[in-house]
Structure 1
């Protein structure tokens, strides 16, 4: 069956502002130098720098032990954030940190939602901040304050007393520090993926969210794709029977972009391929299938086993396309070209994750779900469920539009990129603010969806040995509750 992909199947690049080395190629900023020094000295709890040296190997061994040992749930000192609503407010005052590809792509969508005011923007690149200010004023809002005084000016943004929500779209290295600053200053935080790169950081965000009574959320737009939300509703209605397995991925050929000196501001994303072997970007695939399986809402993920191929793709691409004197020639890549992870849930169900940004292939998030009554597979979208299909031929998923989520029925042609799921996600998040509702996802989801980053690395280093996945809810996963499949509110 050769169906054309639906609108929301377009390739997804969700990286935010990319600040690492200077954009003119003259050398690393203080940010990247300090981060690399810290990584080499502490092993980051996730791995060395991939230099092939004995020191790096020792850091890897220590990091594997750290990743496994940190899975044990520390005793909670504060009340859970499960079921905690936002404070109801007619206008949501937001600050944006990171104004690169992702941040500038999301800014117009925030401005398109009624009852949202952009109060502050932050980026060390002044031209980007100036452009953001112009977009805000062109939308008829007062000029936001721009924070551009170096790498840590975001801390001043977070200290403002007139912000409700801080949106973070920066390189992964900075997600944890920025989310922590927002929470400590009494702001709700929405963080692009992953929310953090280490297990100890994930636990600290959970504790901080509980202590400050502020939500820290993984703003995972793929959970709001039209197909994903339709499958979610069908799964919850029992159309797939008892659920057995699911799969998600981020398979996206990024070789050209990772070596492009202008797309990312510095090589920060490529440098992660010198530090880790595991799944660097799990949430696009993991978030939707975790929703299908009610992870943290009646089931939980308990262990992960990961395997990785040799790391060959980036080096071969560099040899073919980069000049001999390019700084990338000094890099040693250890990140597996493709990682495969199997995750088991408390109910015995199995989830599969894949990650591959280093080899040629069409874009795919896989997005499949199977149960005792049938299966859905995406890329291309197709379905086979009983009693609708009995002839051993895939069915037409477009015939199931009646199962569209109410958000997609209300916003059939949403603005923005990625087929409209960016807008749907932000609209719903702001709606929860406006009406004082419990958000569709919380810090426990953020931590769970990001945990495969360090744990897949640890498993690959241990030849696929299972790694315990922390129960970030501290036992509260057993209680069913609503999530992205939320009822339409009465406004």
Structure 2
């Protein structure tokens, strides 16, 4: 960047960041739909990159895994890494050194050190793995600097932030992908393939969830995820984390690509579990016992789509029960359900849809997604939630290097993430329905569904 453009970027970035961070992330007013300042980025294709030059913001518990995976991807150069914690920053640099790759530049010292990294002209994409409140401002700043943004979930924390990100992506014509890794799991990819081949008939209903007991994170006081994530249970009552289950179901249903979320209604159970856990695990005068936990232990949100389909989305990181994302898709010919995997079909299955078929071997043999067939063993070898993390990053780099559209775009990230704040709005109004914004501005009706790609 020239000195003039660098100064202009830093000024613009400062305004964007200040607006996003000082604006009330718990705001309840839906931002009006304004005319786009640029073209739609559905199916956005950018010039091919021989080498994808990467910068990282945040390399703690989540980000370090991304750094290690990028060290094993072809056609990648790790240019720079930014983190406010010198310990985790040095750990990430060591991982790059151990892979016998050039030592990246580092940025630290303040919450805004990442802006100096963004001012470089030798970075193409930025991987953002920071606490939730930073996702939207950092993504906006990244696109304003002329780089593509890849952001951990959720993409944003308010309707306003979602619109700001969409507007910025359209104006700058830069990718802003929320890195929903679950879309790259073997089972989710197989079900997508089955849906595309009509195995379940016409789709009617889906179920998605994030059921993951995480009370133990409350013991992370000074650092790590629990040090900041715990406090969200004192700020918001709704579905705090909707995207892991919702992403795959949305792709099955062609959300934003032939259908879209229309409206939702939400309910929460009482908020009891975290206070009881704090009383049991901490001294009476401990800070964790001074918090007022308001987020219901179990949230259930129902979404209606424009085509009339229904989706149940649940959130529970508090109660003692096994992990589940549900991952259920029901059609006129039958159903797939996860955790554990099982299938029942009227035609094409065992012949008895009153009984579950739990043997997945025959289904994998017939419907394993071509992407998993090609890269599944490599993904499992490199790891990351069973290989889905590595496969997601590999696919991102493949698309950038080959001039192909990404599998997820900014509209997906906005639509899946906005369920967080809208579920709270519904709860605050006796579970009355709340409209879901159309972040595509009507383009969903003619957008092509995500195809079954082989690479």
Instruction: Give the TM-score taking structure 2 as reference length.
Output: 0.92
Please give the alpha-carbon distance, in whole angstroms, between the structure 2 residues aligned to 1:266 and 1:282: 18
**How far does residue 45 in structure 1 lie from its aligned partner after superposition?**
5.0
Please give the alpha-carbon distance, in whole angstroms, between the structure 2 residues aligned to 1:265 and 1:302: 33
1:409 corresponds, among 365, 370, 373, to 373
Q: Secondary structure at the match of 2:302?
A: strand
| Structure 1 residue aligned with 2:314 | 354
Q: Conserved in 1, the CA contact under 8 Å of 2:328 and 2:335?
A: yes
**How far does residue 263 in structure 1 lie from its aligned partner after superposition?**
6.4
Please give the alpha-carbon distance, in whole angstroms, between the structure 1 residues aligned to 2:208 and 2:420: 14
The alignment status of 1:86 with 2:46, answered yes or no, reads yes
Please give the residue correspondences for 1:107-256 in structure 2 after superposition, counting only pairs within 5 Å: 107-256=67-216
Please give the alpha-carbon distance, in whole angstroms, between the structure 2 residues aligned to 1:211 and 1:480: 19
Please give the alpha-carbon distance, in whole angstroms, between the structure 2 residues aligned to 1:406 and 1:231: 12
Aligned residue pairs, count: 430
Please give the alpha-carbon distance, in whole angstroms, between the structure 2 residues aligned to 1:486 and 1:258: 41
CA-to-aligned-CA distance 1:126-176 (integer Å, 9 cap, x gap): 121111111112212111011111111011111110000000001001111
Please give the alpha-carbon distance, in whole angstroms, between the structure 2 residues aligned to 1:461 and 1:188: 36
Q: Conserved in 2, the CA contact under 8 Å of 1:86 and 1:432?
A: no
| Structure 2 residue aligned with 1:393 | 355
The alignment status of 1:487 with 2:453, answered yes or no, reads yes
Please give the alpha-carbon distance, in whole angstroms, between the structure 2 residues aligned to 1:404 and 1:115: 27
Question: RCO greater where, 1 or 2, for CA within 8 Å and sep 6 or more?
Answer: 1
The alignment status of 1:288 with 2:252, answered yes or no, reads no
Please give the alpha-carbon distance, in whole angstroms, between the structure 2 residues aligned to 1:327 and 1:316: 14
Q: Conserved in 2, the CA contact under 8 Å of 1:95 and 1:119?
A: yes
Q: Secondary structure at the match of 1:112?
A: coil
CA distance 1:378–1:263, shift in 2 (3 Å)? farther
Please give the alpha-carbon distance, in whole angstroms, between the structure 1 residues aligned to 2:97 and 2:247: 35
**How far does residue 262 in structure 1 lie from its aligned partner after superposition?**
6.4
Please give the residue correspondences for 1:30-41 in structure 2 after superposition, counting only pairs within 5 Å: none
**How far does residue 386 in structure 1 lie from its aligned partner after superposition?**
2.6
Please give the alpha-carbon distance, in whole angstroms, between the structure 2 residues aligned to 1:376 and 1:382: 6
CA-to-aligned-CA distance 1:321-371 (integer Å, 9 cap, x gap): 011232122211111111000000000000110000111111000100000
The alignment status of 1:334 with 2:294, answered yes or no, reads yes
Please give the alpha-carbon distance, in whole angstroms, between the structure 2 residues aligned to 1:157 and 1:229: 35
Structure 2 unmatched ranges of 5 or more: 1-16
Q: Secondary structure at the match of 2:79?
A: strand
Please give the alpha-carbon distance, in whole angstroms, between the structure 2 residues aligned to 1:170 and 1:253: 21
2:423 corresponds, among 456, 462, 465, to 456
| Structure 1 residue aligned with 2:433 | 466
Root mean square deviation, CA, Å:
1.6
Please give the alpha-carbon distance, in whole angstroms, between the structure 2 residues aligned to 1:473 and 1:186: 22
The alignment status of 1:344 with 2:304, answered yes or no, reads yes
| Structure 2 residue aligned with 1:438 | 405
Instruction: Give the TM-score taking structure 1 as reference length.
Output: 0.85
